[in-house]
């Protein structure tokens, strides 16, 4: 009887904790090299005599690279496998951090391009890896991944300027130090390369060619795009919006930190809630409504900005984890998940990069932030629709 039981109930494989640790190390590299740039951008602008428009392009370049590079990630994966593609992404990030800091003005642009390309690869491929290797814990792992990414984004933006002021190398050390984090992630990831075998290409080819024709894939992509528009526009422009409402720079910085910090908590809470739901319609509606209410509050009652940013931050954190989890929930296997992830992030970051640009243009056109906030309000309204549609229990 003992033998019979052991045959009919095989021991479940152990939870791959070291792999999860490697994923979280990669997550730690996916925003920190970017968010560390903003606080020292004025120093860089003065060092290289960059015009404001050129400095703005440098700040926006990673998002544009995310949009352009995301569709290429599944192509690389088909050739070398998920693990090797992720390793290449981490190496690009680390090398890009060094080049950006030490090779003059040409290195500033080349390094930023390499960082964006490496992050674009990893952005797309983490969710398919989680779907493949953590099939019973997808939402939890995605939540931890998103929380780690957001937490390190806040840390890097907070220490970038003080670190630049505390050493003789200034902004160069402040930006270059993130290559060490990438080196640690790459060293950890080397252990995963042995399992990076390339699967037969037939299923992947089918997934890659069909995802762009799927209505549910477009709904997920638009959900991703609209929440990205609001998030990055607030990150870039809220300090200026606050100044026009009579809120001081230090106070506005604290509010913006709270906006990002509460999003981390929302990341974790949402990952737990997703597992308990039959579909994600209610979740998509709630997170989108939170963003909508937060933007409306910033328009109508700006002196309560902290309340509205906390509400919008909860919605932003919930939206991000929901979007990332949908890449796995709306697909049949990790190959198709990679294709949907590439599509959604290409569309999402492509439209997301327009948000800060349009907000700045509307402000210069009308002389106030009302039109820009109205644009964000409209984006949040449309997000409600696409979030509910994407939340239906459908497959690509």
Task: Report the pLDDT value the prediction gives residue 285, as an integer from 0 to 100.
Answer: 97
| Sign of the dihedral defined by the CA atoms of residues 314, 358, 249, 148, in that order | positive
Query: Are 321 and 345 within 8 A, CB to CB?
Result: no
For residue range 277-289, list pLDDT tens digits in order.
888 999 999 999 9
Query: Are 43 and 171 within 8 A, CB to CB?
Result: yes
Average pLDDT, the chain: 87
Q: Where are the domains of the chain?
A: 16-198, 202-396
**In the 3-class helix/strand/coil scheme, how is the chain assigned residue by residue?**
CHHHHHHHCCCCCCCCHHHHHHHHHHHHCCCHHHHCCHHHHHHHHHHHCCCHHHHHHHHHHHHHHHHHHCCHHHHHHHHHCHHHHHHHHHHHHHHHHHHHHHCHHHHHHHHHHHHHHHHHHHHHHHHHHHHHHCCCCHHHHHHHHHHHHHHHHHHHHHHHHHHHHCCCCCHHHHHHCHHHHHHHHHHHHHHHHHHCCCCCHHHHHHHHHHHHHCHHHHHHHHHHHHHHHHHHHHHHHHHHHHHHCCCCHHHHHHHHHHHHHHHHHHHHHHHHHHCCCCCCHHHHHHHHHHHHHHHHHHHHCHHHHHHHHHHHHHHHHHHHHHHHHHHHHCCCCHHHHHHHHHHHHHHHHHHHHHHHHHHHHHHHHHCCCHHHHHHHHHHHHHHHHHHHHHCCCCCC
Question: What is the Cβ-side half-sphere exposure of residue 374, based on CA atoms within 13 angstroms?
Answer: 7
Distance CA(332)–CA(74), nearest Å, equals 16
Query: Are 326 and 390 within 8 A, CB to CB?
Result: yes
Distance CA(329)–CA(316), nearest Å, equals 20
Task: Report the pLDDT value the prediction gives residue 77, as an integer from 0 to 100.
Answer: 87
Rounded mean pLDDT, 5-14? 42
Task: Report the pLDDT value the prediction gives residue 276, as an integer from 0 to 100.
Answer: 79
**Looking at 35-44, 63-72, 142-151, 179-188, which range is the least confident one?**
35-44
For residue range 312-345, list pLDDT tens digits in order.
999 999 999 999 999 999 998 888 999 999 999 9
Query: Are 22 and 189 within 8 A, CB to CB?
Result: yes
Burial class (CB in 10 A: 0-12, 13-18, 19+), 209: exposed
Rounded mean pLDDT, 11-25? 75
Distance CA(36)–CA(115), nearest Å, equals 12
- Confidence check: pLDDT of 266 > 60: yes
Query: Are 215 and 201 within 8 A, CB to CB?
Result: no
What is the second-level CATH architecture of the domain 16-198?
Up-down Bundle (1.20)
Of residues 109 and 194, more confidently modeled = 109
Tokens for 217?
């894939």
Same fold, 16-198 and 202-396: yes
- Confidence check: pLDDT of 307 > 50: yes
Burial class (CB in 10 A: 0-12, 13-18, 19+), 353: buried
- What b/e sequence results for 213-248 when a residue is b if at least 16 CB atoms lie within 10 Å of its CB, and e otherwise? ebebbbbbbbbbbbbbbbbbbbbbbbbebbeeeebe
Helices 17-28 and 138-165, axial angle in degrees (round to 10):
40
**CA–CA distances in Å: residue 225 to residues 112, 202, 368:** 22, 30, 25
Query: Are 315 and 323 within 8 A, CB to CB?
Result: no
Query: Are 263 and 316 within 8 A, CB to CB?
Result: yes
pTM, to two decimals? 0.84
Determine the CATH number of domain 202-396: 1.20.1250.20
């Amino acid at each position: 009887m003992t033998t019979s039981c052991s045959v009919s109930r095989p021991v479940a494989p152990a939870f791959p904790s070291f792999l999860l640790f490697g994923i979280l190390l990669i997550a730690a590299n996916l925003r920190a090299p970017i968010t560390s740039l903003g606080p020292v951008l004025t120093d860089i602008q003065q060092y290289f005599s960059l015009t404001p428009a050129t400095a703005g392009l440098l700040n926006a370049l990673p998002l544009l690279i995310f949009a352009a590079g995301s569709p290429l990630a599944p192509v690389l994966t088909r050739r070398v496998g998920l693990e090797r593609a992720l390793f290449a992404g981490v190496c690009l990030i680390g090398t890009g951090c060094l080049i950006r800091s030490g090779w003059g003005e040409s290195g500033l642009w080349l390094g930023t391009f390499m960082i964006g390309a490496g992050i674009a690869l990893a952005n797309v491929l983490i969710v398919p890896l989680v779907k493949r290797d953590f099939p019973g814990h997808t939402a939890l792992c995605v939540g931890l991944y998103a929380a780690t990414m957001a937490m390190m984004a806040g840390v890097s933006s907070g220490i970038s300027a003080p670190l630049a002021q505390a050493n003789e190398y200034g902004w160069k050390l402040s930006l270059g130090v993130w290559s060490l984090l990438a080196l640690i992630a790459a060293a950890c990831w080397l252990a995963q390369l042995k399992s990076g075998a390339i699967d037969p290409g037939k299923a992947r080819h089918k997934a890659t060619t069909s995802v762009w024709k799927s209505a549910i894939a477009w709904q997920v992509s638009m959900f991703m795009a609209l929440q990205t528009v609001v998030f990055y526009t607030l990150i870039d422009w809220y300090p200026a919006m606050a100044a026009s409402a009579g809120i001081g720079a230090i106070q506005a910085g604290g509010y913006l930190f709270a906006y990002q910090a509460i999003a981390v908590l929302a990341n974790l809470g949402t990952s737990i809630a997703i597992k308990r739901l039959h579909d994600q319609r209610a979740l998509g509606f709630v997170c989108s409504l939170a963003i909508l209410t937060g933007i409306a509050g910033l328009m109508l009652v700006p002196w309560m900005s902290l309340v509205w940013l906390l509400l919008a931050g909860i919605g932003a954190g919930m939206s991000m984890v929901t979007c990332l989890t949908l890449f796995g929930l709306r697909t049949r296997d990790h190959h198709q998940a990679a294709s949907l992830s590439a599509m959604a992030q290409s569309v999402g970051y492509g439209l997301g990069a327009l948000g800060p640009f349009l907000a700045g243009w509307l402000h210069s056109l009308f002389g106030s932030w009302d039109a820009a906030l109205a644009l964000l309000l409209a984006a949040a309204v449309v997000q409600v629709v696409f979030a509910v549609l994407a939340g239906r229990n459908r497959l690509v």
